[in-house]
Structure 1
Amino acid sequence: MPIIHVQMMEGRPVEKIEEVIQNITNTVSETLHAPKENVRVLVTEIPKTHWGIGGVPKSKQ
């Protein structure tokens, strides 16, 4: 059972997260010849205060 964990910065619309889940599921299913119902996609949204770029939190950029 493939498990894919996606981490992204918070703030995207629910519809976009659902689209990512669907697209990843389809790609992994086709690539690995695994049934879609066996593919798991976990999305973790990270607060901008906890996402650093170049030593600075994204919330301060």
Structure 2
Amino acid sequence: MPIINVNIMEGRPKEKIERVIADITKTITTTLEVPKENVRVIVTEIPKSHWGIAGESVEKRDASN
């Protein structure tokens, strides 16, 4: 049973996350030749305060722009 973990920054619409789940499932079923019922996709949204780029959080970077 393939289990795919996807980490993304918070803030995307639920429809986009649903699309990611569907597209990843389709790719895995095709590539690994497994039924879609066996594919698990876990999407974790990370708060911008917990996502760092170049030594500072995205939250801080956004605030300074």
Which TM class, normalised by the smaller chain length?
over 0.9
Larger of the two Rg values belongs to structure: 2
Q: Distance in 2 between matches of 1:26 and 1:2?
A: 12
* Residue ranges of structure 2 left out of the alignment (5+ in a row): none
What amino acid is aligned across from residue 43 of structure 1 in structure 2? V
5 Å matches for 1:7-22? 7-22=7-22
Stretches of 4+ aligned residues off by more than 2 angstroms: none
Q: TM-score, normalised by structure 2?
A: 0.93
Shift of 1:40: 0.2
Work out whether 1:57 is the aligned partner of 2:57.
Answer: yes
Partner SS state of residue 45, structure 1: strand
Q: TM-score, normalised by structure 1?
A: 0.99
Q: Which residue of 2 aligns with 1:29?
A: 29
Identity value in percent? 66
What amino acid is aligned across from residue 45 of structure 1 in structure 2? E
Kindly tell me the number of residue pairs found equivalent between the two proteins.
61
Q: Deviations over 1:26-50 (max 9, x none)?
A: 0000000000000000000000000
Partner SS state of residue 34, structure 1: coil
Q: Distance in 2 between matches of 1:54 and 1:34?
A: 39
